[in-house]
Structure 1
Amino acid sequence: MKKRRKKLNLFKSHGFKLNRLSNTASTQLENELMRKYDVTLSQWAVLAIVWEHEGIRSSDLQEILHVKVSTASGVIKRMEKKGLIVRKKNREDRREMHLYSTELSKNMAVEVVETVKELNREMLHGFSAEEKELFMNLMDRAYKNLTQ
């Protein structure tokens, strides 16, 4: 007697649902950021970190974002060309680069953050405060499970 393989229902797969949500949210956010500010999703992530940590080392930024040096370098170079950030060498260690926001990016910070918050509100519409907190905690736990 042959064993029957249990079929995977794609729409009951946690990974599929998470990926679908991530792709949809990312696409909508990037479309809004590009339309309003000419900023990509990757650039938004860098800006959010630099706004929070002015003078952050580029190596620390790469670690936070979990991206390769080449990926981060490309995003940073494009952002410099747009006038969104500046790189400055460390005086003690000339190999070390620090990132700073420019007046241009500082001036758009409030509006960009509000755009992101609006998408989050739309995505979590109808969720209670407790459900929002639980959702964040569950995502953090799942991420830790995959990265430890």
Structure 2
Amino acid sequence: MLKTTPAADPDAYVAALAGWRRACVENLRSAVRKAAALDEVVKWGHLVYLSNGPVLLIRAEEERVLFGFWRGQRLQTIEPRLKAGGKYEMATLELLEGMTISPAAARRLAKEAVTLNQTLGNPTQAATPRKAVKPRRANAARR
């Protein structure tokens, strides 16, 4: 992946996009902003929405747009296409050219994600750190 200078603000992030990716990000952004009062920032090189910690992200890549949720695994009943992965309870919807999510579904996901943060707290602080597992030595089993 090429290293690029992050956008100065969310509007600049969207303005730097073109074609279907820009339209997709604009639609997601509009739905999210209508769903709840969220702080919108550019963090880690993409759009991140905050309410008592990180709630969701919108990330445009070369061939796809990701719509991800810190507690997305709890939202899979609303949107079964959310794929679990990463830290916390992350799940992400991968949108390729021609794929969509309805504005109503995007708003519902965002609203429920905010409610989860209000109820459960900041997902980055609620997560329990994983303990490092020491590898077993091959000859230790023979003792």
Sort the TM-score into its range (normalised by shorter chain). Answer: under 0.3
Provide the TM-score with structure 1 as the length reference.
0.25
TM-score, reference length from structure 2? 0.26
Q: Which has the higher strand share?
A: 2
Greater helix percent: which structure? 1
